[in-house]
Structure 1
Amino acid sequence: MKFEIQSIADKGVFEKERLVLKVRSDADVGDYLVIQTGFNDGEVTIGTYQTYWFPYKAVSSGDLVVLYTKSGKENTKELKGGRSAHFFYWGLSSAIWNRKDRAPVLLHSPEWISKSPDEL
């Protein structure tokens, strides 16, 4: 995978809570989703609670992708050494990472299909 889940910072502190991903090789973050799943006995479960699909944006090896739980405006900050931190905002109304029975799953999904409910 071209990303690794590095940390969940400030768990339970809504204004600061964020998931931090490190980019391992050049990629488009729009090919990825984060799903909050259940977690039990050291493993994720099939339960899903929240989903965030990143917008399309090229990111480079060594960059950070930061997903805040709160609302905000997408932006990028230049870091030392030519790297960048890319900030995204889930738009939720409360902290979600303060439960020990929930875990983040990063899913690579470059191909997908959808239909309008009227077509089905």
Structure 2
Amino acid sequence: MKLKIVDVKSKGDYDNEYVVLRATADCNLKDYMVCDETYDAAGKSNLNRHSYWFPDHLVTKGDYVTVWTKTGKNIVGQMESGDPAHRFFWNLKEAVWNDSGDVAHLVEIADVASKTVPAVKPKP
């Protein structure tokens, strides 16, 4: 995997919540997805309620990538350290990392097969 999760910042604070990733090698983000795993009263729920699949975007080894929960426009800028930072916005309406036990997953997508599902025809 050419990306790694560094941290989840300001969890539960919608306006400031984001996931920090770092490229360990040059790569295209379109091959990656971030999702959350949540818990229910019985324990691990195996429910990934929120998924963010990155757009086609190249990053260089050492670059930071942040995924903000809130609404915004994707931009390329810099971290306070001066390191390149690629900022993406999930455009959700509430915090994702807001419960004890939430887990952030980074998934590398090796291949995708898609099928458009036709609209359901109304019954006569």
Q: Where on the TM-score scale, by shorter chain, does this alignment land: which range?
A: 0.7 to 0.9
Count of aligned positions? 117
1:27-60 CA distances to partner (integer Å, 9 max, x unpaired)?
00111011111359xxx76221111100010001
Aligned-partner Cα distance in 2 for 1:81–1:68: 19
1:57-98 CA distances to partner (integer Å, 9 max, x unpaired)?
000111000000001000001458984100000011111112
What is aligned with 1:37? 37
Residues 47 and 63 (structure 1 numbering): CA distance in 2 closer, same or farther, change over 3 Å?
same
Residues 108 and 93 (structure 1 numbering): CA distance in 2 closer, same or farther, change over 3 Å?
same
What is aligned with 2:65? 65
User: What SS does structure 1 have at the residue aligned with 2:25?
Assistant: coil
What is aligned with 2:111? 111
What is aligned with 1:11? 11
Query: Where is the helix percentage greater, Structure 1 or Structure 2?
Result: 1
User: What percentage of residue pairs aligned between the two structures are identical?
Assistant: 31
> What one-letter code is carried by the residue in structure 1 that aligns with 2:34?
V
Structure 1, unaligned runs of 5 or more: none
What is aligned with 2:22? 22
Aligned-partner Cα distance in 2 for 1:79–1:68: 14
> What one-letter code is carried by the residue in structure 2 that aligns with 1:66?
T
Runs of 4+ with deviation above 2 angstroms: 78-83
Larger Rg: 2
Aligned-partner Cα distance in 2 for 1:96–1:55: 20
Aligned-partner Cα distance in 2 for 1:105–1:3: 12
What is aligned with 2:51? 51
What is aligned with 2:122? none
> What one-letter code is carried by the residue in structure 1 that aligns with 2:30?
G
Could you say what the CA RMSD is over the residues aligned between the two structures, in angstroms?
2.4
> What one-letter code is carried by the residue in structure 1 that aligns with 2:54?
F
TM-score (norm 2): 0.84
